[in-house]
Structure 1
Amino acid sequence: MFRYININMNSITAIVVAAGRGTRAGSGIPKQYREIAQKPILHYTIDALLAHKAIDNIICVIHKDDKQLYKNAVSRINNPRLSKPVLGGATRSESVFNGIKAASSEYVLIHDGARPCLPIAALKRLINGLEKYNACFLALPIVDTLWSISENKVQKNISREMIWKAQTPQAFKLNEIYNAYENTNKTLTDDVAIAQSAGIEVTPILGAEENIKITTQNDFGLARQIIGNIMDIRVGNGYDVHALGLGSSVTLNGIEISHTKALLGHSDADVAMHAITDAIFGALSAGDIGQWFPPSEQKWKNASSEIFLRKAVLLCKERGFIINHLDCTIICETPKIGPHAEKMRENISEITKIDIDKVSVKATTTEQLGFTGRNEGIAAQATATLIKK
């Protein structure tokens, strides 16, 4: 029996098959929930699919016993394209079919939950392939010499010209792959095999060597190496200067210090916190304090610079980054920064919600040279290091 599903034209659903037990990967929790660089493998897999805007919906198929593991794995993914998961079946084919039945798009991409290193270039090639083919899949041509072996003896050389190594995602029209699963042998272990058995022509699209499937314990080391090379690490720099004028104290990194002068500015003139804030904005490619909090606006008159820093921290969270390290150097002759540096670190740590050992505050002079050397002002520079979650 053939079924025709009401579909959203030109839409794409990615089905992530994550219901397996992964016994070959060693003992412990299923491999898709184990962590690399403090992030579950399944999280990387989903992120790789979310990187392509043409994918409208992602459905993960999970084991009935893994609901909490799944919840933990996706807890930091705040994207409406990730739908509620569906439960898998007794075999991979049953799990895939459950995912297919939950889709309502024109196309589906079926992807292994334990393939966390899918590069965006390969994903683009696959989706572009759907403009020409009804069904296609990522694969790699074999480059090594192949031999048939019998009883541990070499028998004959096998031509590699017609042999490709299958990868995922594998892409199909939803109606066609639904009917293939509904009406053919579901014991086949590959979606291309099921499609082919139903008479669907499937075309290979060049995949990527780094698009590995984690199967054995040894694969974790290779995945760590690949993920380490593709991690999104951002570094931003901030620099600020404020003049000194009449007053009896200065505020640096939120700590008030007695002084013979005061820093002048539209806000509280916390030059050090301004530098840190601008460093974070810079790492996010999000402009600077002046763009977010224009000095021309009266509402920021005498405002606490903590407001500015908290905004930068919030923007990090919204864009999926964590602050890994902050380094601030205050440049002045006076006041002495050393006695107050620890309190500054504690304050910045509290505002940014990062460990104090990831916050550095130090000071230097200009050997009485320039405007800082003449006590006409204080400068500060900062560096922020962010990592994509």
Structure 2
Amino acid sequence: MAERQVAVVIVAAGTGTRAGEVGEAPKQYRRLAGRSLLAHTLDVFLAHPAIDRIVTVIHPDHGDLYAAAIADLAAAARLGPAVTGGASRQISVARGLEALAADPPDLVLVHDAARPFVTAAVIDRAIAALAEVEGALVAVPVVDTLKHADAAGHILATRPRNDLHAAQTPQGFRYPALLAAHRRAAAEGQDAFTDDAAVAEWAGLAVRVVTGDPANVKVTTAEDLIEAERRLDRDRFARAADVRVGTGYDVHALVPGDFVTLCGVRIDHDARLDGHSDADVALHALTDAILGALGDGDIGAHFPPSEMRWRGCDSAVFLADALARMAARGGFLAHADVTLIAEAPKIGPHREAMRTRLAQLCGVALDRVAVKATTNEKLGFVGRREGIAAIATATVRLPLP
């Protein structure tokens, strides 16, 4: 029998309001353990050998958020264009299915973007079941006693839990059957289904429960996000057991001017730092520290000052390149420590702004960044206010060879 083509529809069109305050990014775009929640979910399916195509369905207002989220993925080029979702989950899934219709797969899995802990084994079970039935519902048995209560919270009855299951995703189907079921539901005005198994059941498809995983939880609330980050951090630290530490040092002269840029923060001053780029000694030192941990040369090797295209360049470009080299090897920045050596300007009033900016540039939590400062006790070129120096230490974690 020919190998079956398997596509995945990732549903990421929600606004995620239960996961935080108004104005915060929807939950699927929150950064957890260095990447967006959506990126963690997509990565599982991108790494699965049976998956041929992935369609992500997003909110019409989330194009920029989606682009930023998939930039975290080494295999982002394998993703097709995102599809705009609708006012309900059912409509969003239908649009994702229609996006596959021009070149239909044999099987399709539908998965929630907010379930990053799905495993390859669960995916395998969903796909395998479709050799015998038209639909497969990943689920876990209900173990808690179920109570039926009225609007005031008064218990009306205890419901038997025998044979009850809590639905998870992915939910798998033979693609033509699910597409036909969604089209029929839309034509008949049936729009209140909360998952695809319900659409399939209504259409008369045979759907089988397959063994899910209690750990395959859906991230819904702010508390869920906190717990998800803990789990994702533990997982990635376990995978990246090769711990490297690199150091970097940089110095630039002070010349007449009216501001300096340190750690990406502009500070008014009676002089400026002189250099081929913007002369941000802190970012230069941190870039060299990361490159040192990678054993990948130094900033001058990758961005020669003899090349005019780097004239006046924002030093964040250099740092981003070092971080990209690290990510390409499956690594991440565990901690960054920067010490500035200057008689002036005073660093204290700007320290938190510097930490915040470094954390943003590195894509890490604020507690993984330290910025310190000291004078040179009026000794040497720093003491004479002829320049500013910076020392940086980067702790990088990489997968073992």
* Higher Rg: 1
* CA separation of 1:17 and 1:76: change in aligned 2, threshold 3 A: same
How many residues in Structure 1 have an aligned counterpart in Structure 2?
A: 281
Indicate yes or no: 2:397 matched with 1:385. Answer: yes
- Counterpart of 1:236 in structure 2 is 242
Query: Is there any run of 5+ residues in structure 2 with no aligned partner, and where?
Result: 250-289, 302-321, 337-360, 371-394
Equivalent residue runs for 1:71-220 within 5 Å: 71-79=67-75, 80-103=77-100, 104-150=104-150, 151-184=152-185, 185-220=190-225
* CA separation of 1:224 and 1:384: change in aligned 2, threshold 3 A: closer
Shift of 1:234: 1.9
Shift of 1:280: 5.8
* CA separation of 1:116 and 1:50: change in aligned 2, threshold 3 A: same
Say if 2:242 and 2:399, in contact at 8 Å, map to a contact too.
Answer: no
For residues 172-216 of structure 1, the C-alpha deviation after alignment (integer angstroms, 9 at most, x for no partner) is 111000000001223311110000111101111111122111222
Shift of 1:315: 7.1
For residues 41-72 of structure 1, the C-alpha deviation after alignment (integer angstroms, 9 at most, x for no partner) is 11111112223111111110011111000000
- Counterpart of 2:59 in structure 1 is 63
- Counterpart of 1:318 in structure 2 is 328
Indicate yes or no: 2:44 matched with 1:48. Answer: yes
For residues 66-122 of structure 1, the C-alpha deviation after alignment (integer angstroms, 9 at most, x for no partner) is 100000011122324321101111221111011001122111111111112212332
Indicate yes or no: 2:17 matched with 1:18. Answer: no
- Percent sequence identity over matched residues? 34
Query: Is there any run of 5+ residues in structure 1 with no aligned partner, and where?
Result: 1-7, 239-251, 255-275, 282-288, 290-302, 327-352, 359-382
TM-score, L = length of structure 2: 0.60
Partners of 1:277 and 1:62 in 2: how far apart? 36
Partners of 2:324 and 2:67 in 1: how far apart? 23
Partners of 2:119 and 2:28 in 1: how far apart? 18
Say if 1:325 and 1:385, in contact at 8 Å, map to a contact too.
Answer: no
Say if 1:324 and 1:387, in contact at 8 Å, map to a contact too.
Answer: no
Partners of 1:225 and 1:313 in 2: how far apart? 22
Say if 1:237 and 1:278, in contact at 8 Å, map to a contact too.
Answer: no
* CA separation of 1:313 and 1:223: change in aligned 2, threshold 3 A: closer
Say if 2:106 and 2:175, in contact at 8 Å, map to a contact too.
Answer: yes
* CA separation of 1:279 and 1:65: change in aligned 2, threshold 3 A: closer
The letter for the 2-side match of 1:97 is A
For residues 204-245 of structure 1, the C-alpha deviation after alignment (integer angstroms, 9 at most, x for no partner) is 11111221112222221221232233225323389xxxxxxx
Shift of 1:124: 2.4
Say if 1:13 and 1:105, in contact at 8 Å, map to a contact too.
Answer: yes
For residues 320-368 of structure 1, the C-alpha deviation after alignment (integer angstroms, 9 at most, x for no partner) is 3335479xxxxxxxxxxxxxxxxxxxxxxxxxx989x89xxxxxxxxxx
Backbone CA RMSD of aligned residues:
3.9
Shift of 1:313: 9.1
Partners of 1:9 and 1:141 in 2: how far apart? 32
